[in-house]
Structure 1
Amino acid sequence: MKSDKKIVLLAGKGDSTNIIYHALAKDFNIARVIIEDGVDTKSFLKRRVKNLGYNKVLGQILFKVLVDKPLSVISKGRVKAILQHAGLVNTPIPEDIILRVNSVNEEATIEALINLEPDVVVVNGTRIISKAVLNSINAKFINMHAGITPLYRGVHGGYWALAEGDLKNCGVTVHFVDSGIDTGTILYQTCITPEKDDNFTTYPVLQLAAGIPFLKKAINDVLKDQVKLITPPEGKSGLWYHPTFSSYIWQWIRRGVK
């Protein structure tokens, strides 16, 4: 039986948002899906160059074109198998439940949240959420991060854990959202064990499949006021970015991480 509490999904575009929506909709009342357009490519690259430098960003672009896109094509069968095994689907979200905004941090988002009065806001794939949005309503914001925090914050936490030879910390974290980058207090963590035919494009799907049951538990914990926080694993907090073409090839040669 579905909970009568209201859930809002605050998300970016993409398959992961579709997958999470359909998984949650089985058990919860999804009142609205607020989807942001995201940062335009020019602005994104300009900011990335400022933070990382031209050479690294060029290497990331080469990785995207020469590795990531081809892997996405050849891995479609594996992705389908993972989703089927986990009982997940990535079909589009019904358009009548979607509110589209330019940015998750714009006034339209705040107005929608205030009007909807959700009990929980689930976050997926957005830019960093401002304090103004987080403080606009009396509800917890929960995110499922593709990495074990605080060791693997940022992006591609599963891949980077494998590249570092840190299999025990290749996994997913469900946490409360604050105004930092994957720095919120931890609700659940679980690990994945990739198979030999998995690679950079399938690790996130494995993480979704492993993490969604814990995301559901976290939502229920909040709704029932039974939250128990997890002590973060020991180790240095790290913020990770997209690999470059050369770093990816090196990790493939060094550790066989695809």
Structure 2
Amino acid sequence: MNPKDISVVILTSRGPRHSYFCRELERHFNLKGLVVDDRYHASDRILTFLKSCDYNPFRILKRLSLKKRILPFEKRDEKIERAAFPFEGGEFPVEVPLLLSPDPNGPEAVEWIKALKPDVIAVFGTRLIRDSVLSLAKYGVLNLHTGLSPFYRGGQCTFWCLYEKDPGHVGVTVHTCRAKSTEGILSTRPRLI
């Protein structure tokens, strides 16, 4: 089968690496649409931060202190990422339908994806995808994330590997997403170091 015969919808976030991922998949597959998780507004971040600290003032102060210490490194990383993955010709492929969604699992996104009838849904850099979306792809859903499962999960896996002086677990995991869980069949796990 010719890869261009495989229709793909991508669920992703904003950022240079996400844009690069989308442009590369567009080069190799029949990219039918992009759903961009557009939830990261300041008010959402503050509420999420407070919830993650259980509204505990000591946890809040501890997390703010850590954030202050790592902020220069995050800014450096953003600069490096922009240089490594420049937005050539725009943030996302222009000819591909785009849905900016505050919730990629929400009714609007589900109906939009359903109308595109994708063979495969590719997930990179978004939140946990629910059953309502997982059932929409003819052949399945693939999730790509940095870090080697099950050793490191969640955001900033590469940072935590290096912080823990564990460069042997810097890598990428690609797995299928199944109903009730993101733990599907591990497709590949190349180590980078």
Aligned to 1:225: none
Seen in structure 2, the aligned counterparts of structure 1 residues 6 and 171 have a Cα distance that, compared at 3 Å, is same
Aligned-pair Cα RMSD in Å = 2.7
Shift of 1:65: 3.8
TM-score between both structures, scaled by the size of structure 2: 0.80
Identity of aligned residues (%): 24
Separation of aligned partners in 1, 2:64 and 2:182: 24
Q: Which amino acid aligns with 1:164?
A: E
| C-alpha separation in 1, matches of 2:60 and 2:185 | 31
Distance 1:2 1:137, change over 3 A: closer
**Aligned pair partner of 1:59 in 62, 65, 74:** 62
In structure 2, C-alpha distance between the alignment counterparts of 1:53 and 1:174, rounded to whole Å: 36
Compared CA separation, residues 27 and 14, structure 1 to 2 (3 A): same
Amino acid at match of 2:67: K
Deviation at 1:140, TM superposition (A): 1.1
How many Å separate the matches in 2 of 1:156 and 1:76? Answer: 13
1:140 correspondence with 2:140 = yes
Do the aligned residues in 2 keep the contact of 1:36 with 1:103 (CA within 8 Å)?
A: yes
1:10 is displaced (CA, Å) by 0.8
CA distance in 2, matches of 1:44, 1:123: 22
- Provide the rounded CA distance (Å) in 2 between the counterparts of 1:61 and 1:168: 29
TM-aligned CA distance change 1:54 to 1:154, over 3 Å: farther
DSSP 3-state at the match of 2:189 = strand
The answer to whether the aligner puts 1:41 opposite 2:45 as a matched pair is yes
The 1-side partners of 2:182 and 2:151 are apart by 10
| Secondary structure in structure 1 of the residue aligned to 2:21 | helix
Could you give the per-residue CA deviations for residues 127-168 of structure 1, whole angstroms, max 9, x where no partner exists? 211112212443311111111001111122222223333332
| One-letter amino acid of the structure 1 residue matched with residue 155 of structure 2 | V
Rounded to whole Å, the distance in 1 between the matches of 2:184 and 2:70 is 32
When normalised by structure 1's length, the TM-score is 0.62
Partner of 1:109: 109
How many residues were matched structurally? Answer: 186
Structure 1 residue 179: Cα displacement: 5.6
- Displacement after TM superposition at 1:2 (Å): 5.8
Alignment of 1:26-175 (within 5 A): 26-38=27-39, 40-50=44-54, 53-68=56-71, 70-75=72-77, 78-79=80-81, 83=84, 88-91=85-88, 92-94=91-93, 97-175=97-175
Residues 187-236 of structure 1 deviation map (CA, whole Å, 9 limit, x = unaligned): 0011223xxxxxxxxxxxxxxxxxxxxxxxxxxxxxxxxxxxxxxxxxxx
Equivalent residue letter for 2:140: K
Q: Distance in 2 between matches of 1:185 and 1:18?
A: 26
Structure 2 Cα separation of the partners of residues 163 and 181 of structure 1: 28
- Tell me the alpha carbon deviations over residues 50-81 of structure 1, each in whole angstroms, 9 at most, x when there is no partner: 3x95434433333334423x224445664466
* Secondary structure at the counterpart of residue 67 of structure 1: helix
For 2:31, what is the secondary structure of its paired residue?
strand
Q: How far apart in 1 are the matches of 2:142 and 2:56?
A: 32
Q: Provide the rounded CA distance (Å) in 1 between the counterparts of 2:136 and 2:24.
A: 27
